[in-house]
């Protein structure tokens, strides 16, 4: 089936939103934790977190200012600090519930029943239930004039993770942590590993790696 640009434009807006949101594939499910200058915490599920670079360790996310994560955006601008918390199989429904439009003075932590956790040097709250989470310092906000969204770029300052999930070569086995993914606007998924693959070279056949990144695993 071939859908052309005119058809895309003509779709009813909710239909189009579901369709277009499905095209970017499986997306990471993350909760962004923030706090405002009155001490009210905020938690917002965001599926647009993406890797920008490892050195410095930079992560980007897209915020639509007129949608629910608006409080998140305001808080990040106020405090320059935020946390990103992997959503795992134990609390994915509570994570989805954070997308409801709660009042500005109501914390989603309380509303959905997740617990705050803090570390020294970061004012923003982590989600205690999350098995892989990290703190960021705001580095840059780039306004995307093309559709009025904001690209928020942060540098990772602290990583909190179960020690056993970090494999010998640095790879974190997020499947063992039961991190979930999202497709479209509202579908959540577990994962099932196919394999880790060797670094690709032009004339060398690929083989599987062990979870620790060692060659020779079948």
Closest separation between CB of residue 38 and its own copies, Å? 20
Report d(CA 137, CA 116) in Å as an integer.
18
Interactions with its own copies, residue window 17-56 (CB under 8 A): 17-30, 47-56
Nearer to its own copies, 37 or 190 (CB): 190
Q: DSSP letter string over 154-170?
A: EEEEEEEE-GGGB-TTS
By CB under 8 A, what part of segment 107-136 binds its own copies? 111, 119, 132, 134
Beta strands in 40-94 (DSSP E): 41-46, 50-54, 57-63, 81-86
CB of 35 to its own copies, least distance (A): 20
Q: Is residue 216 a contact residue for its own copies (CB under 8 A)?
A: no
10, 37, 115, 162: residue in contact with its own copies (rule CB under 8 A): 162
Query: Which residues fall within 8 angstroms of residue 22, CB to CB, at 6 or more apart?
Result: 183, 184
Q: How far apart are CA 85 and CA 80, in angstroms?
A: 17
- Indicate whether 99 belongs to the interface with its own copies (CB under 8 A): yes
Residue 194, interface with its own copies (CB under 8 A)?
A: yes
Query: Is there a contact between 77 and 36 (Cβ–Cβ < 8 Å)?
Result: no
Binding flag, residue 142, its own copies (CB under 8 A): yes
- Any contact of residue 60 with its own copies (CB under 8 A)? yes
């Amino acid at each position: 089936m071939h859908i052309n640009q005119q058809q895309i434009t003509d779709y009813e807006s909710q239909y189009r939103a579901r369709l277009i949101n499905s095209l970017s594939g499986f997306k990471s499910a993350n909760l962004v934790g923030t706090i405002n200058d009155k001490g009210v915490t905020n938690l917002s599920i965001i599926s647009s977190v993406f890797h920008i670079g490892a050195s410095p360790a930079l992560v980007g996310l897209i915020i639509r200012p007129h949608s629910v994560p608006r409080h998140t955006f305001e808080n990040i601008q106020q405090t320059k600090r935020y946390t990103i918390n992997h959503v795992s199989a134990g609390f994915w429904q509570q994570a989805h519930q954070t997308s409801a439009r709660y009042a500005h003075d109501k914390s989603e932590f309380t509303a959905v029943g997740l617990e705050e956790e803090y570390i020294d040097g970061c004012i923003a709250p982590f989600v205690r239930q999350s098995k892989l989470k990290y703190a960021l310092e705001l580095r840059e906000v780039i306004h995307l004039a093309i559709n009025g969204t904001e690209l928020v770029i942060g540098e990772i300052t602290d990583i909190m993770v179960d020690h056993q999930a970090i494999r010998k070569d640095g790879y974190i086995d997020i499947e063992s942590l039961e991190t979930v993914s999202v497709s479209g606007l509202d579908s959540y998924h577990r994962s099932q590993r196919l394999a880790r693959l060797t670094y690709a070279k032009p004339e060398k056949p690929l083989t599987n790696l062990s979870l620790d990144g060692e060659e020779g695993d079948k």
